[in-house]
Each structure stands twice: as C-alpha cells, then as structure tokens.
Amino acid sequence: MGILDSGPLGPFRKKIGPGIGRRHMGQNLVLPLYHKSTTPATEAQLLQRKKFGMLRSFLSPVRMLVNPGFKAFVKKNSPANAAFSHNFDHAFVMNGDVPEINYPRIMFSRGQITTPNGLQVSSAAGFITFSWLNEPQSRYCQSTDKASFVIYHPAKGTFRILLDQVDRKALHFETAVSSGHQGESVHCWIVFASANGRVRGDSKYGGIIQIPGLI
C-alpha cells in the first residue's frame, strides 16, 4: 500500500500501481517495479559487474578517509559514490581476462592541499618508513598539515589505516610492521589534510614494498 505524505499530489512511499515511491538524498523518487531479466548476461556485462564489486569492496574499508576526502565532490550522491565514480575508469588493469586493482591509480582523497614532495617509502628491521622533503609554506602547504597513511596487504586483503599521525614538518613517519607481513609485499599511500581537517589533499601512492623476513 502506498502512503501519500502531502496530499494527492505530493510524494508517496511504498508501492502504488506499477511504481514505488522513495526518498533518496533529499529527493522524492518514483521508481518502476523491479523485473528480473531472463536474458543471460554477456561476458562484457559480467566483467563490468565483477569490477563494480571489486572496487566497492576495496574502497569500503577505507571509508574514514574516503568520506572526508570526497565530501567536496558530492553531487546529490555520497562521498563513497563520488570516490567510486572518480576511480572506476582507471581502477583496473587486466591480467589476461582477469581484472586486478591498479593500485598506483587509486585515490582515497582529493583536494587542494599540496601532496608530499619527494615521497619515499622503505622498510627495514620490522618498520615501514615514509619520508618526504621540506618545501616553502603557502596557503595549501602548511607545516601543520596532518598526514594520514594507508598500508594494504594484498595477500590477506587487509588494510591498516593511520589517521592524522604527524605534521607535515616532521618530514617522516615510522610504523611497526606486524609479524604476519614479514616476507610479503604491501602497498602504501599518504594523504595530507589541513590542521582543522576541513581541506583535504590528493592521496599519493608511495609504491609497493617488500617487508624483510626474519633472519
């Protein structure tokens, strides 16, 4: 049964005839009833569905960076959808017929804050170290900008997210590595934001590094 919220000409909820009323992102929508297709999906459609699922699964655990990082680019959707739309076209490389995440092109944040200059990522003695160069201060490059870090372990499909760890002026950040990562490779990113968190910068890929095993 449909429910009229504002009289006979107003928006409605639930089902009326062949339509369904719902409210989404501040808009009243009328949608057709869902009809399951009996036509088998093509290979191209199956590949597209697989990519959709892969990217959503990859971005979902990083919502604490994605939500503020894409908030400024929301257009009647959500930060997660804005991040998905921005990344999708360049988020994959094909290994034969199998899509794989294109890690260097993935972005968890976008904005005007200056990215780190001369970023380097290294590992030794149970630690991962991020380092970057000093540069002149400007409106979008302040010594008090906060650095956050993402470390992704593809073999286990797990993220480590380190928010607002150091100021830009520190020029480096070191974090201990779990023993479960030793001998394996991880992907690393960094992103700067203003000290008050209101302005974000582009996330920057630091590369893939191998964690030394125990000697």
User: What is the reported pLDDT for 86?
Assistant: 96
- The CB density around residue 83, as the number of other CB atoms within 10 Å, is 27
pLDDT digits (tens, 9 = 90+) for 57-96: 999 999 999 999 999 999 888 999 999 999 999 999 999 9
Domains and CATH numbers, the chain: 41-110 (no CATH), 111-215 (2.60.40.10)
User: What is the reported pLDDT for 32?
Assistant: 67
pLDDT digits (tens, 9 = 90+) for 36-65: 666 788 988 999 999 999 999 999 999 999
User: What is the reported pLDDT for 75?
Assistant: 84
Helices in 60-201 by DSSP H: which ranges? 63-69, 79-88
Q: Radius of gyration (Cα) for the chain, nearest Å?
A: 22
Q: Which residues of the chain have pLDDT under 70?
A: 1-38, 213-215
User: What is the reported pLDDT for 215?
Assistant: 39
| Among the listed residues 160, 164, 120, the one whose alpha carbon sits nearest the alpha carbon of residue 145 | 164
Rounded to a whole number of angstroms, the distance between the first and last alpha carbons of the chain is 69
3-state helix, strand, coil in the chain (%, to 5): 25, 40, 35
| Token pair for 15 | 């089902």
User: What is the reported pLDDT for 17?
Assistant: 59
User: What is the reported pLDDT for 30?
Assistant: 65
| Among the listed residues 182, 160, 157, the one whose alpha carbon sits nearest the alpha carbon of residue 101 | 157
